[in-house]
Amino acid sequence: MSPVSGSGRLVLAATPLGDSRDASPRLTDALAGAEVIAAEDTRRLRALATALGVSPSGKVVSFYDAVETSRIPALIEAMTNGSTVLLVTDAGMPSVSDPGYRLVTACIAEKIPVTCLPGPSAVTTALAVSGLPCDRFTFEGFAPRKSGERGRWLAELAEERRTAVFFESPHRLADTLAQAVEVLGGDRSAAVCRELTKTYEEVRRGGLAELAAWAADGVRGEITVVVGPAAPTETDLPALVTKVRARVDNGERLKTVVAEIAEAAGVSKKALYDASL
């Protein structure tokens, strides 16, 4: 599918989580050269530009949740007429629990090129420093606000075999962790990452019960929570053995298959090998 004739493009740009020195040279160049900058918070954009020593030459428009849909037609028109639109949110990558998704889909529908300036992300930063398995993970966005919805959401994570990452507001963190103890168990490994990359960055690691007790007195700042995968149980072995036998029947070596499946499922290689014989 080729782009429309004479069109500009949409550039999604990741911005620093807190330390302006994390901004890439490409972001600085883009801020200086884009014809239009769509910013989640124009004041924060100006502050970032000042910190980077750059003066945006293009038009700056607000692009936050409440106005996102209404802003899209004008931005599409600008790109169709040849302008580059730079989309920045307050911190991290646009579209990841931030405005941007609707604009991206609108550009795709209009055959307008979309590209990205990669950079900081609270999701992967928290995952990396959590000390929890990160070969497979799920991002859950913001935890539900209401207790009932949050309980049902946590129940879905009870048997999740991937590490889960989600955002939470500081004033709801204590309640969410306390409810997670009830649903997931106090021993479930987790990490609470606070103020990532900022002066008062803090990473608390431990069981959910320990973290809930810590958060009970109140926590401030931007919060990202990482919850480790559910521990595999012996009842999982029959299903895993079925997978092993299917691949062995297709000609693969038993030891190789067992090693791969055991590692992916987080179970003992010996236990799976013995059960497969």
Q: Where are the domains of the chain?
A: 9-120, 123-227, 234-276
Tell me which residue has tokens 């849909």: 69
Specify the pLDDT at position 38: 98
End-to-end CA distance of the chain: 52
Rounded to the nearest 10 degrees, the angle between the axes of helix 237-249 and helix 269-276 is 60
Q: Which of 86, 141, 96 is nearest to 116 (CA)?
A: 86
**CATH domain 9-120 topology:** Cobalt-precorrin-4 Transmethylase; domain 1 (3.40.1010)
- Fold for the domain defined by 123-227: 3.30.950
* Alpha carbon of residue 161 to chain centroid: 17
**At a CB cut-off of 8 Å and minimum separation 6, what does 105 contact?**
none
Give strand pairing partners of 196.
none
pLDDT(5) > 50: no
Gap between the Cα atoms of 63 and 7, Å rounded: 21
User: What does the mean pLDDT of the chain come to?
Assistant: 93
pTM passes above 0.95: no
**pLDDT over 80 (residue 217):** yes
Can you list the alpha helix ranges (DSSP code H) found in the chain? Answer: 25-33, 42-52, 68-80, 101-109, 122-130, 147-157, 170-184, 208-215, 237-249, 254-265, 269-276
pLDDT at 264: 76
> Is pLDDT above 90 for 48?
yes
Q: What is the pLDDT of residue 233?
A: 65
**Which percentage of the chain shows pLDDT scores above 90?**
84
* pLDDT score for 6: 57
CATH topology identical between 9-120 and 123-227: no
How many Cβ atoms from other residues are within 10 Å of residue 148's Cβ? 8
